[in-house]
Amino acid sequence: MVRFDELQELWQKQQTPFRPAVDTAALTRGFRAFGRRQHVINAAKLALILVQVGWMFLTLRKVGALALAGAGIIAAGEAIFLALDWRSQFGIARSTFANPSVVFIEDTIERLRRQRYPLGGYVWILLLSITFGLNLILWDSRPPGAPLRRFGVHAGFTGFALVCYRFGLWIRSRRFESECRPLIAQLTAMRQELEERS
């Protein structure tokens, strides 16, 4: 028969479950709020894309087939970018912290950090589709003037796409600071607690 002293010693050696100082329920609610904000922002982006696509097709239907193809390429690139970005944000928003581990927390922090500069392959899909589509539209509409002037117009539209991209990155970094930075700070505190415990 096991003596009481041995049972008491075993009981004292047993690790208590991890209860982080960071409120995991509040953290999960913060991630849900992040997801709701992303849904609203992405729904607004979708509405703008639909208005833009409708306007492009209405104004370019008389120009020619290449211009319509350019509009279609732009619309497809924007739709792919929005779908992939929205899916990434939805995955982050569904994170739960009932039983966190260091690896899970580090992965979540990394996914949040990627929201600042989404430089994955899908950003290049967007940039190339807009640049290629705009140049097809210009090619079909045949801007008047010498070849050098036409080259300048094409270069101007390509530069416009890149300026829009930089502006989008600036907005994205501002949103990152207000939406993701507080979540990263809470996750970092939780990770430090877990590392100290182990």
36 vs 4, higher pLDDT = 36
Say if 18 falls within a structural domain.
Answer: no
Residue 45 lies in a domain: yes
Task: Give a yes or no: residue 43 inside a domain.
Answer: yes
pLDDT tens profile 25-77: 778 888 888 889 989 999 999 999 899 888 888 888 888 888 889 899 999 99
For the cut 70, the answer to whether the pLDDT of residue 91 exceeds it is yes
In a domain, 5, yes or no: no
pLDDT at 107 over 90: no
Give the pLDDT confidence score for residue 50 in this predicted structure: 92
Range in 7-11, 25-29, 173-177 with the lowest mean pLDDT? 7-11
pLDDT of residue 10: 56
pLDDT-based confidence at 155, cuts 50/70/90? Answer: confident
Residues of the chain above pLDDT 90, percent? 8
Average model confidence (pLDDT) across the chain: 79
Of 4-8, 95-99, 178-182, which has the strongest mean pLDDT? 178-182
Write down the pTM of the prediction: 0.70
User: In which domain, by residue range, is 78 found?
Assistant: 24-197
Say what the pLDDT of residue 125 is.
Answer: 81
Q: Specify if 57 maps to a domain.
A: yes
Lowest mean pLDDT among 10-19, 50-59, 165-174: 10-19
Residue 19 has pLDDT above 70, yes or no: no
Residue 130 lies in a domain: yes
How many domains does the chain fold into? 1
Tell me the mean pLDDT in the region 140-147: 65
Tell me: pLDDT of 192 over 90: no
Is the pLDDT higher at 140 or at 45? 45
Going by pLDDT thresholds of 50, 70 and 90, the confidence category of residue 123 is: confident
Q: Are 78 and 133 contacting, i.e. CB atoms less than 8 angstroms apart? A: no
Tell me whether residue 156 is in a domain: yes
8 inside domain? no
Contacts of residue 65, defined as CB under 8 A and 6 or more positions apart, other chains included, come to: 140
